[in-house]
Amino acid sequence: MSSVTTKIPYNSLTRFMTTLKLTQPITLSRSLSTTTETRTQKLERIADELLDLTKLERYDYSILFRHKMGLNRYGPALSGPSSAGAAAAGSGPPEAKAAAEKTVFDVKLEKFDASAKIKIIKEVRTFTDLGLKEAKDMVEKVPVVVKKGATKEEADSIAQKLKELGATVVLE
């Protein structure tokens, strides 16, 4: 079993710790100076705890921290007070935005007239690389996705042809 190792930017961590030790609280009032002192002590305690972690624990912590801050590879996090304000500031519901940005569609055959079954099988064969038996089996398994990953124009064309033959088609 192999172990996971990562390089921790030690220079940035030491720079952070030295700035913590050099920072002096601003003494505008007694309550402000005690608040600043407790913040500094808290940050020093956190830094000490981070230094006590093993490499694997630091790696897990870095992933968790990025996730909590919304810096993961899947885009910004959608939780917390700041994201709620950002979502409220957006125009329209998120579903409408996702539908407007969608470029790849799946053509799903919902149902069809029994009298048009042979025509639909022939049409399915024209836009897929299926043989007669495979196309027949696919059409008989309704509802089924007959074309995956089609562009908007291609999906509309396929849906229109199938609707003309008496089928009910949905673009997903």
The DSSP annotation for 39-58 comes to HHHHHHHHHHHHHTS-HHHH
Q: What is the pLDDT of residue 40?
A: 87
What band does 27 get if pLDDT is binned at 50, 70 and 90? very low
What band does 59 get if pLDDT is binned at 50, 70 and 90? confident
User: What domains can you pick out in the chain, each with its CATH number?
Assistant: 10-88 (no CATH), 102-171 (3.30.1390.10)
- DSSP label at 114? G
* Residue 40 token pair: 């500094």
Model confidence over 66-108: pLDDT tens digits?
888 877 665 555 555 554 444 444 555 555 555 556 788 888 9
If one compares 72 and 114, the residue with the highest pLDDT of the two is 114
pTM for the model: 0.42
Which range has the worst mean pLDDT, 16-25, 42-51, 69-78, 113-122? 16-25
Compute the radius of gyration of the chain from its Cα atoms.
Answer: 30
Tell me the CA distances in angstroms from 1 to 4, 5, 55, 101, 170, one per residue in order: 10, 13, 16, 43, 48
